[in-house]
Amino acid sequence: MKEINTQKANHVNKNKSNHQQRPVVKKTQHAKKSVVTKIKHSNKPAIKKTQQANKPVVKKIQHEKKPVEDTAQIKSAEEVERPKVRYITIDSEDAGQRIDNFLLRTLKGVPKSHLYRLMRKGEIRVNKKRIKPVYKLAINDEVRIAPIRVSEQKDAVSTGLSIVANLEKQILFEDDRLIVINKPSGMAVHGGSGLSFGLIEALRALRPEARMLELVHRLDRDTSGCLLVAKKRSALRSLHEQFRDKNVQKFYHALVKGHWPTKLTRVTAALKKNDLKSGERVVVVDNQNGKESETRFRVLERYRGATLVRAFPVTGRTHQIRVHCQTSGHCIAMDAKYGHEEFDEQMKSKGLKRLFLHAASIEFTHPVTEQRMKIEAPLEASLERLLSKLVKE
């Protein structure tokens, strides 16, 4: 009985142990599954959160860097471009000229009307006092110029352009006071009226170190030859005075139509400028309302159907030599405004492509040495070739 009971007891205990182990195994597996499931489930959101958290940080850093750099660049650009008050002490070179002319030369790109307004408001002063545009500067005057933003030249003249580079070869005389240059035909003396630049702008590009370069006088766009350019204000004043006193002599060579009479040495027809609606300027003879004009002529060479003459303009009216030749019945070859169509066609057939008017020489007194100077400009090669094709009489 004891044994049976022991067996029964063992059997019962065994059953109990088996019964107790099964739920434990199930619980363990279930717990493990739950744990694994929970770990897997908890890892995924963690990764997602990390990725989501990282992305905004990167974006935020990039977004914060750009404005800092742009702001710094904008500030530095503003500091560079911000205009400042300028003080200029007048020396002997600038003394004697009107303040408005001085400002126009000094503040290139600022409209004249704007400069006048600044003077009226007292933004521009001389020796701490308000001044009028007609005020003439004196030595040691102190000019105060308020901050003015000067417009930048977008189309700067490039010294790499062949027409600009070739000007260096056309310089006939140069010192620290002036330049005499053989201006090419077809090049205006200054820019404007649709031209991006002219001879004076090109010279400034070639001589960037020059404090000033100003035209002393002018030549028509189609006329070639001697042209004076001042490098100092004192030289400009001296040469202008010589022009007013008729102490400057300019001699031109022109090929004209027909047989120029030997006795025709002086033409005095009065000239008047007319501005057409198209904007073109034409000069006509008007002895009643025109300005007194005088040109002296001398025959240099006679050709079949043409004459090479020397012209000396006593006065300096616009298109003076060209109109005086026209009114005398001997138009200059290839003159688009005052020429003779049939004569021009003849010269064109021989290779002439430009106006045959050349400022061959100029005489003046040097502003410093007071030496009388005569500078000569050789004829362009195309003009020499044309003359060689003509039959001399």
Could you report the per-residue pLDDT of 215-232, keeping only the tens digit for each? 999 999 999 999 999 999
Asked whether the predicted pLDDT for residue 7 surpasses 60, the reply is no
Question: Residue 128 and residue 122: Cα distance in Å, rounded?
Answer: 9
Count of CA atoms in the C-beta half-sphere (13 A) of 93: 12
Q: What is the pLDDT of residue 281?
A: 83
The pLDDT value given to residue 110: 84
Taking residues 312-336, report their average pLDDT.
97
Mean pLDDT lowest among 66-70, 124-128, 204-208: 66-70
More confident call, 312 vs 28: 312
Segment 175-196 mean pLDDT: 86
Mean pLDDT on 15-34: 45
Please determine, for residue 247, whether its predicted confidence score (pLDDT) is greater than 80: yes
**352-393: per-residue pLDDT in tens?**
999 999 999 999 999 999 999 999 999 999 999 999 999 998
- Which of the pair, 258 or 61, is modelled with greater confidence? 258
How does the average pLDDT of the chain come out, rounded? 82
Q: Which CATH architecture has domain 86-145?
A: Roll (3.10)
Residue with structure tokens 């003509």?
390
CATH number, span 162-389: 3.30.2350.10
Average pLDDT over residues 150-165: 61
More confident residue, 175 or 152: 175
**pLDDT surpasses 80 at 269:** yes
Token readout for 257 is 């139509």
Q: Please tell me what DSSP assigns to residue 392.
A: B
pTM check: above 0.75: no
What integer pLDDT is reported at residue 286 of this predicted model?
95
Q: Mark residue 186 as left, alpha or beta (left: phi above 0; alpha: psi -120 to 50; beta: remaining).
A: left
Given a cut of 50, whether residue 277 has pLDDT beyond it is yes
Between CA 100 and CA 128 the distance in angstroms is 17
> What pLDDT sits at residue 21?
47
CB-CB contact of 188 with 199 (8 Å): yes
Give the number of other CB atoms < 10 A from CB of residue 101: 13
Least confident of 9-23, 97-111, 191-205: 9-23
Q: Residue type at 20?
A: Q
Q: How far apart are CA 187 and CA 289, in angstroms?
A: 32
Percent with pLDDT over 70 in the chain: 75
Is pLDDT at 299 greater than 90 in this prediction?
yes
Q: What is the pLDDT of residue 215?
A: 95
Query: Which sequence spans correspond to the domains of the chain?
Result: 1-80, 86-145, 162-389
Is the model's pLDDT at 35 over the cut of 50? Answer: no
pLDDT confidence of residue 191: 75
Q: Name the active-site residue from 94, 100, 141, 220.
A: 220
Q: Is 141 tagged catalytic? A: no
- DSSP string over 52-109: HHHHHHHHHHHHHHHHHHHHHHHHHHHHHH----EEEE--TTTTTSBHHHHHHHHSTT
pLDDT at 165: 79
